[in-house]
Amino acid sequence: MTETSDGVRTQRSVILQTHHLRAATMETSSDEEEMRTFVQVLSEKYNPENFPYGQGVMVMPSLPGSPVKDRLFLPCSLVLSDSGINKAGDRSDIAAFCAHVAELDLSQNHLNDWAEICGIVSNIPHLDFLNLSMNPLSGIELEPSMAEVFSRVRQLVLINTHISWDTVHTLTKHTPKLEELFLCLNGYNTVSESPTSCPSLRLLQITDNQLQEWAEVRKFGQIYPSLITLVLANNSVDSVGDTPETLPQLFPNLRSINLNNSGLSKWADIERLNFFPKLKEVKLKGIPLLQTYSNHERCSLLLAQLPSVVLLNGSTVSEGEREDAERFFIRYYQDIPELDLPERYHVLVSKYGKLAPLVEVDLSPRSTMVDVRWGDKVEAISLRLEQTVCDLRKHLRALLQLPTSGIRLFYINREMCSAFGPEELKCGSRALHSYRIQDGDEILVVPKVKSRCSSSDH
């Protein structure tokens, strides 16, 4: 234990001495921007005095002969967001402490030099996930000779960096394992074509940009031919403009597309989605085409138009829901002139035939007229059958000025009375419609008979 603690203090002491030297150098250049290095922030956050042993920081003995007696082993996932980082710091320190790190979040820092970013990444050899979101990378180009340090990255997040397409293509060219790329909020209104494709990419999220024309979107199919998921939400894409012959070739592997809050305004664009051969999930909330429809109409008409989709707007589609939607589609269009009928209508009619309009059924609780008899008196009243036996008791007491307690109610079915006799209405919470009361039946009100016991009986 003593050697381990000494090792931790030795490591921390070396790092802090280095920082003091750098701080002294910085003080001589007051006009320069304050420097916050990756190593400095790392040592501050994971200082053993601030980050107790056992909560993510481990002390691991080094191999025999190692120049460092003991080494701090940080968590595999490092979150250093919003820390003012603008430099890498000592590369050997990064290599010593981050040899095993797989995930790194550097979002919302001040990194604006690819040389500094590469200085960090090149010393984290097992980096799988990298988040550089909200760093000022606009107009800062990445030299191809430096990009090889990103070769192991599988997930790359570049949200709100305003990174250029040229740099995006340089990165994807040198990341042969890249599967997920996030380019949201970068102000793109066009897509620059790349001289080389990125066949490894499976997911592209490019929400909240300014793409409008399908001619730009179709470029993604050429750049990322293996794309499975395309998230285009909150762009103003106004159409799905390719032909049935070209769409299967553009996105042969696409299984999920998100077009929420896009500019689609024609049913023809929805129909063209069927030409993506593997498409199973679609999101189409907030598009102009659907604004005039009710929620039920939107869901039914979309579902009927997309026979291969099994997830619509985030909900799994059952076979029963699909059939109901397709039947609704037929009835919705059956009064439209023949020339205006969508092609899907004819397909569904061949499946179900021409359907008769649905008969509207009134399912609201009904009333019935019954005779209420108590003593020598009979009065015809209207009963609301959704009310309970308890409700009926209160109603009769108020209407007929009956005693507030001590009554029993019997239901007499006029057709079955001779066979079954009166049925007492005992359960106060039971609804009257469950007794199948009909017009002309009778409710009999009788007083309760109190049992009398006296001491003389014993």
Checking if the pLDDT of 436 tops 90, the result is no
The answer to whether the predicted template modeling score (pTM) of the entire model surpasses 0.75 is no
Residues 6+ apart with CB under 8 A from 77: 101, 102, 103, 104, 105, 129
Residue 406's pLDDT band, with cuts at 50, 70 and 90, is: confident
Q: What pLDDT was estimated at residue 414?
A: 80
Which range scores top for mean pLDDT: 28-42, 149-163, 348-362, 423-437?
149-163
Q: Which two tokens stand for residue 121?
A: 């990444």
How far is C-alpha 387 from the chain's CA centre? 42
Residue 50's pLDDT band, with cuts at 50, 70 and 90, is: low
Checking if the pLDDT of 48 tops 90, the result is no
Lowest mean pLDDT among 44-48, 196-200, 265-269: 44-48
Lowest mean pLDDT among 15-24, 68-77, 274-283, 430-439: 15-24
pLDDT tens, position by position, 117-126:
999 999 999 9
Q: What pLDDT was estimated at residue 408?
A: 85
Checking if the pLDDT of 18 tops 90, the result is no
In this structure, the number of other CB atoms found within 10 A of the CB of residue 412 comes to: 18
* Dist. CA 315–CA 205, nearest whole Å: 20
Q: Average pLDDT, stretch 215-234?
A: 97
* Domains and their CATH numbers in the chain: 76-350 (3.80.10.10), 367-447 (3.10.20.90)
Which range scores top for mean pLDDT: 154-163, 349-358, 384-393?
154-163
Checking if the pLDDT of 358 tops 70, the result is no
Residue among 126, 198, 203, 207 nearest 159 (CA) = 207
pLDDT tens, position by position, 300-340:
999 999 999 999 999 999 999 999 999 999 999 998 899 88
Lowest mean pLDDT among 40-49, 68-77, 419-428: 68-77
Residues 6+ apart with CB under 8 A from 45: 51, 80, 83
Q: Collapsing DSSP states into helix, strand and coil, what is residue 89?
A: coil
Checking if the pLDDT of 14 tops 80, the result is no
Q: What pLDDT was estimated at residue 413?
A: 86
* Dist. CA 59–CA 5, nearest whole Å: 9
Q: What pLDDT was estimated at residue 308?
A: 97
DSSP 51: S
The chain-wide mean pLDDT, for the chain, equals 84
* Dist. CA 390–CA 425, nearest whole Å: 9
